[in-house]
A = this chain, B = another copy of it.
Amino acid sequence: MSKTSQAAGLHRASLAKLHELDAALELMYYGWRGMTLEADDYLAKQGLSRPHHRILYVVARRPDIAIGALIEVLGISKQALNRPLNLLLERKLLTSKRAPEQHRSKLLRLTAAGQRIEQRASDHERKVMRQAFERAGASGTAAWMAVMEAIADNN
């Protein structure tokens, strides 16, 4: 599932820069890894991984979401969702129940255990972000967010 020592061993490699913006590309890559490293480690200890966390994260923020809506938010196929979702249901981190009036769709919710794991995993990620923002101050944080929004909304 993961390999702490090996993944952690990958520090920022020093590569010659062919273009001015190469540093930015590498910062995106290592930034993503830096943010997710501890969370993935924690998840691996729980026998879970990134896709499980994505499901938990979304359901935490959209309680009673239907499976179809979850598929849309995650951007994966029904079949790809199936296995991680069933694992979360078996492990009782999620519950699914039919809606009272809309019997067609199943509504998903986190159990207390699911909430705990979602929160702890996300806390690892938030901790990394908080530390970086503290160093940067309010104006640096605002600038970071503005740049990230521009990158995210590019497509």
- Using a CB–CB cutoff of 8 Å, the interface residues on chain A facing chain B are 6-13, 15-19, 21-25, 27-28, 30-35, 37-38, 57-58, 60-62, 72-73, 75, 122, 125-126, 128-133, 135-136, 139-141, 143-155
Q: Which 4 A-B pairs have the closest CB atoms?
A: A10-B75, A132-B150, A30-B152, A143-B143
Supposing A7-B75, A24-B145, A28-B35 touch, asked if A150 and B122 sit within 8 A by C-beta, the answer is no
Per DSSP, are chain A's interface residues mostly helix, strand or loop, or mixed? Answer: helix
CB distance from A149 to the nearest CB of B (A): 7
Supposing A15-B61, A27-B145, A143-B136 touch, asked if A153 and B34 sit within 8 A by C-beta, the answer is yes
The answer to whether A143 and B139 have CB atoms under 8 Å apart is yes
Chain B, Cβ-Cβ closest to A36:
B28
- Chain B contacts of A152 at CB under 8 A? 12, 27, 30-31, 33-34
- Chain B contacts of A22 at CB under 8 A? 61, 122, 126
- Chain B contacts of A150 at CB under 8 A? 131-132, 135-136
Chain B, Cβ-Cβ closest to A148:
B27
